[in-house]
A and B are shown apart, each in its own frame.
Chain A
Amino acid sequence: MGFFKLFRNEDRSPEGSAVGQSGDRATRHSSGLGELTKLISGKESLTILDLGPTSPQNISLLTGLGHRVYNEDVLLASFDPAYTSASEDGTKQIKVAEFLRENLSHNGQKFDVVLGWDIPDYLHEGLVKPSVERLAGIMKPGGVLLAFFHTKDAGPDAPYFRYHIAGKDSLSLQRGPQFRLQRVFNNRHIENLFKDFSNIKFFLARDNVREVLVIR
């Protein structure tokens, strides 16, 4: 997992800055979302898991289309002190088993769509691979996962955004809590991360972000 580290930063505290939480939003095109929209068009009663912060807009829109929506802010949950412990040398250790016992656990529920946004870039390194493996386990065959990954040009101070679906292929970005970018994946890392999935498609997006659509 060491190769994931490019912008490793142990100071992951969400506290400290509330900059950007004013609600100002910017809208941008999303090819990945557009492709996802095509894939699920005409389908009803899909089970959709949104891993981002609670978005009234996403919930309203997706439930309005007749889908069942699950919301789970995985990144925020990962900062729960209950999931960390200090090792002998003083470094923080993440309790992966405890985290997965209480998160990404849906009592056998399988999902058609997972909105992962750019959470893997901000998640504690010890949680990235286990969380993706768990996602593979809770998705239906043929299920679709949408994820974003920053490119190296984004830099370590790339702000964390909340993503709201604004249209069939457009997203509204709202500055969220001041999480720090933990690493940058290259294409090969992303392919390895989703090795349990059947297909992966890359889209180059604006804002130094690659969009990825992964088929279970």
Chain B
Amino acid sequence: MWKSPKPDERPTANTSVPVTNPPEIKKEFRPMEPVKSADSFRADVAHIGKSVLVKGELSGSEDLYLDGEVEGSIDLQEHNLTIGPHGRVRANVKAKDVIVHGKVDGNIQGTDRVELKRSAVLVGDISTQRIVIEDGAFFKGAIDIKKEAKPAVKAEAPKTFAAAASFNDQPTFTPQS
């Protein structure tokens, strides 16, 4: 994540302003704070940086933070995919949880959840059990919500739970009879 300064920001040799050798750490230029999550820094999360271009089939059995470019397909099976703000994906995506900050041109199949952040641009269809879309995200395509597989043995829910479920801040849309 540490970046060297851009060429045009480096002090030129013919400058008349004396440079007092500041500590190296203060020379860093960080134009954009990368999107961070606790998972991003876990050791078991693979990271593809923004300068990386992958063409072909990308598959794995660990979580992936993708800030680069992928053309082809992405299959992480039961693992999570985060497409960072610099991520550019032209591929069909399959993962457990898919979080999109960048751009995707392709279909997303999130077996558990798909989340489009406000900077996300998605042209393609979504198939998932749960979806979260932030205001500001651009989406062109279809959304297919797959119902969660119900457990084989279903315990009877207490009535108090049912009553509590009717009080939420979601807009009601009860059809008239």
Query: Is B174 located at the chain interface by the 8 A CB criterion?
Result: yes
Distance of A110 Cα from B172 Cα, bound (Å)? 27
If A63-B131, A72-B140 touch, whether A57 touches B171 (CB-CB below 8 Å) is yes
Which residues of B are found within 8 Å of A71, using beta-carbon distances? 139-143
Q: Is B145 an interface residue (CB 8 A)?
A: yes
Interface residues of A in 153-178 (CB under 8 A from B): 165-168
CB of A93 within 8 Å of the partner chain: no
B141 touching A42, Cβ below 8 Å: no
B173 interface hit (Cβ, 8 Å)? yes
Contact of B142 among A70, A77, A167 (CB under 8 A): A70
Chain A contacts of B171 at CB under 8 A? 57, 61, 165-167
Indicate whether A134 reaches chain B with its CB closer than 8 angstroms: no
Type the 1/0 row for B162-173, where 1 means its CB is closer than 8 Å to any CB of A.
Answer: 000000001111
Closest residue of A by beta carbon distance from B136: A54
Chain A residues with CB below 8 A from B138, complex form: 54, 73
Give the interface size class of chain A. Answer: 20 to 34
Min CB distance, B6 to chain A, in Å? Answer: 28
Per-position 1/0 for A45-74, Cβ under 8 A of B: 000000000101101110111101111110
Neighbouring B residues of A73 by C-beta, 8 Å: 138, 140
Asked if A41 is at the interface of the complex by the 8 Å CB criterion, the answer is yes
- Could you list which residues of chain A lie within 8 angstroms of chain B, going by C-beta atoms? 23, 37-38, 40-42, 54, 56-57, 59-61, 63-66, 68-73, 77, 109, 165-168
Interface contacts beyond A37-B175, A61-B170, A61-B171: sample of 20 additional A-B pairs, CB < 8 Å, sorted by A? A23-B135, A37-B173, A42-B175, A54-B139, A57-B171, A59-B131, A59-B143, A60-B131, A63-B143, A66-B145, A68-B142, A68-B143, A68-B144, A71-B140, A71-B141, A73-B140, A77-B140, A109-B142, A167-B172, A167-B173
CB within 8 Å of A: which residues of B? 131-135, 137-145, 170-177
Q: Could you pull out 16 A-B pairs where Cβ atoms are within 8 angstroms?
A: A37-B176, A41-B175, A54-B138, A57-B171, A59-B133, A60-B170, A64-B173, A66-B145, A68-B145, A71-B140, A71-B143, A72-B140, A73-B140, A77-B140, A109-B142, A167-B172
